[in-house]
Amino acid sequence: MPTACARASDPHACPLPDRFVDALCGGTFPDATLALFASGTPWVRGYLRGDVDGWYAGTGGSSRARLAFDEEVLVLRARAPATTGVIVGNGTTSYDVLRWDGFCYTLDSGELTMKRPPRPRHPPLAFHRLSEATQAALLQDEKVRAARSRRGKECKGAMTGDVTLACEKADHALGEAVADHVVSGAPLPPPAQVPGG
């Protein structure tokens, strides 16, 4: 796992190594994602200025998703505006970002602010995809334990597909509880899988 900025070409970014970002965005690494968002890491946090239909400009496993106003993301690297060919967006710098759910997206600079809102938002997380060691560490937190229990009751074991509004809310509440635990500085075990490892 990287521990320092790869370079400092952009005042709004502490970029991670390109090879690491390519590997991270080419798969899904839920444990590594939590490690990157952990308190004390040098990576720049960004926040959505509004709701955005997210997509990733590179190659990888990310899919389209609706990112929400005030949602927190990790800025992985800056992309210089295209000077030839088809120009997508407004022609300004864009950023590859990591969402708390482990997927990468590309946002125009106008869609992102580095100013932290009073209460950043977080998406639902696939808790069952975390390693057993990470799940066990998170479940030591009473709030995470309660949120996971509530999700189990509301979603009745469903992991995908059509779910009730109560299940959606429970999913979001579990994501918020996990994020609160991670940013509190509470220790987590090393990631079970590391991108490029």
Identify the domain containing residue 156 by its residue range: 127-183
Q: Which residue has the higher pLDDT, 30 or 78?
A: 30
SS3 track for 91-119? CCCEEEEEECCCCEEEEEHHHEECCCCCC
**Residue range 65-94, pLDDT digits in tens:** 899 999 999 999 988 766 555 555 556 788
- The share of the chain scoring above pLDDT 90, in percent, equals 65
CB 12 within 8 A of CB 87: no
Same domain, 88 and 133: no
Residue 6 counted as domain residue:
no
Residue 13 counted as domain residue:
no
Residue 118 counted as domain residue:
no
Res 100 pLDDT > 90: yes
Residue 24 counted as domain residue:
yes
Residue 136's Cβ-count burial label (10 Å; 0-12, 13-18, 19+) is: exposed
Res 122 pLDDT > 70: yes
Residue 120 counted as domain residue:
no
Res 38 pLDDT > 90: yes
What is the arrangement of strands in the sheet containing 104-108, beginning at the earlier edge strand? 104-108, 94-99, 72-79, 45-48, 112-113
Residue 153's Cβ-count burial label (10 Å; 0-12, 13-18, 19+) is: exposed
Given phi > 0 = left and psi -120 to 50 = alpha, else beta, which region is 114?
Answer: alpha
CB 2 within 8 A of CB 17: yes
Q: Which residue has the higher pLDDT, 75 or 161?
A: 75
DSSP annotation of 66:
E
Mean per-residue pLDDT, 85-113: 82
Mean per-residue pLDDT, 126-141: 95
Closest CA to 94 of 112, 72, 74: 112
> What pLDDT score does 88 carry?
52
Same domain, 163 and 103: no
Res 40 pLDDT > 80: yes
User: How many domains does the structure of the chain reveal?
Assistant: 2
Same domain, 62 and 133: no
Residue 169 counted as domain residue:
yes
Count CB atoms within 10 A of the CB of residue 48. Answer: 23
